[in-house]
Amino acid sequence: MAILDKSAPGELRLILSGVAENAILTTLRRWPHWRHAELERDPTDANQCLSITLVTGHEQEATLREILRRGFGLIFPAEGGSRVMAPMPASRLRQGGRR
């Protein structure tokens, strides 16, 4: 599940938890506008990460929403909230046409 949290003044938080969100993390982890990231670890297994929270400024909201919409089909309400990412379609092999 992905959560877009606007509750902190001046900050926009994207919380990713679950294997399905790995694609979002892979795409956005090097986005230069992140201020910092917070990891939530499993209390019984410190090697296991339960979620990651990526924090940016509210001025990046439109860009982040567009990336999430175009890249992953995630559309959040204006006030933020949570969305479950739809399964990614199986990649199709491209057949190069020889003529």
What pLDDT shows up at residue 87? 61
Residue 16: other Cβ atoms inside 10 A: 21
96 occurs within a structural domain: no
What pLDDT shows up at residue 92? 40
- Average pLDDT per run of 10 along the chain, which is 99 residues long? 93 92 91 95 90 96 96 92 70 46
61 occurs within a structural domain: yes
What pLDDT shows up at residue 84? 81
What pLDDT shows up at residue 47? 87
91 occurs within a structural domain: no
Domain of 31, CATH number, reads: 3.30.70
Determine contact, residues 37/54, Cβ cutoff 8 Å. yes
What pLDDT shows up at residue 90? 52
How many structural domains does the chain have?
Answer: 1
What pLDDT shows up at residue 41? 92
What pLDDT shows up at residue 99? 46
